[in-house]
Amino acid sequence: MPPDDPFERADQKRLRLFLYLIPLVGIVPAGVNLYLQRRQSLPNPEQRRQRQDLQVSRQAVSLAMAWLLALALVNLGGQLGETPQLGIMLFNSVLTSGYFMASCWLMLQLGRGKRPELPGLDALGNRLP
């Protein structure tokens, strides 16, 4: 990864991208990054350099939102239906484990120097502001 900013080293940028992908915690800095990028409406060289930051932030936020939506729907379905509580808790744990594994997979791809992406998540993330 060539450095975009002479004052920022590549490992600092990679560490910031890892921070966005931390499960449950990384959604806050990723959301702040998306919000700040949205407030800058004019394209400038800094925005072009932060394209990977924006892409990783969108993926982190969309992955967390999909996980939270799935948990809410499972819990709502469990309350409305006659499903045993143990089955709902088991399915919630599978969803949460999948969220953590997907975040770890994205971190692993980033650590290898590849573009962190999950199929289907890019299309969802590109719809975010």
What are the pLDDT digits (tens) for 3-55? 455 555 777 888 888 999 999 999 999 999 888 877 765 556 555 557 788 88
Q: Is residue 92 part of a domain?
A: yes
Q: What percentage of residues in the chain have a pLDDT greater than 90? A: 34
From 32, 45, 54, select the one nearest 4 (Cα to Cα): 45
pLDDT at position 108 over 80: yes
Q: Is residue 5 part of a domain?
A: no
**Mean of pLDDT over the chain:** 81
Least confidently predicted of 10-14, 68-72, 89-93? 10-14
**Residue bearing the bigger pLDDT, 1 or 56:** 56
Q: Is residue 21 part of a domain?
A: yes
Q: Is residue 56 part of a domain?
A: yes
> What is residue 3's predicted lDDT score, i.e. its pLDDT?
45
Q: Is residue 16 part of a domain?
A: yes
Q: Is 0.95 topped by the overall pTM?
A: no
3-class DSSP assignment, residue 107: helix
pLDDT at position 102 over 50: yes
CA atoms within 13 A on the CB side of 18: 13
Q: Which of 10-14, 33-37, 57-61, 117-121 has the highest mean pLDDT?
A: 57-61
In the chain, DSSP finds a helix count (H) and a strand count (E) of 6, 0
pLDDT average, residue stretch 73-91: 83
Q: Is residue 28 part of a domain?
A: yes
- The total number of structural domains in the chain stands at 1
Task: Determine the structural domain holding residue 81 and report its residue range.
Answer: 10-125
Residues 6+ apart with CB under 8 A from 53: 13, 16, 17, 20, 33
pLDDT at position 88 over 60: yes
> What is residue 81's predicted lDDT score, i.e. its pLDDT?
76
Q: Is residue 3 part of a domain?
A: no
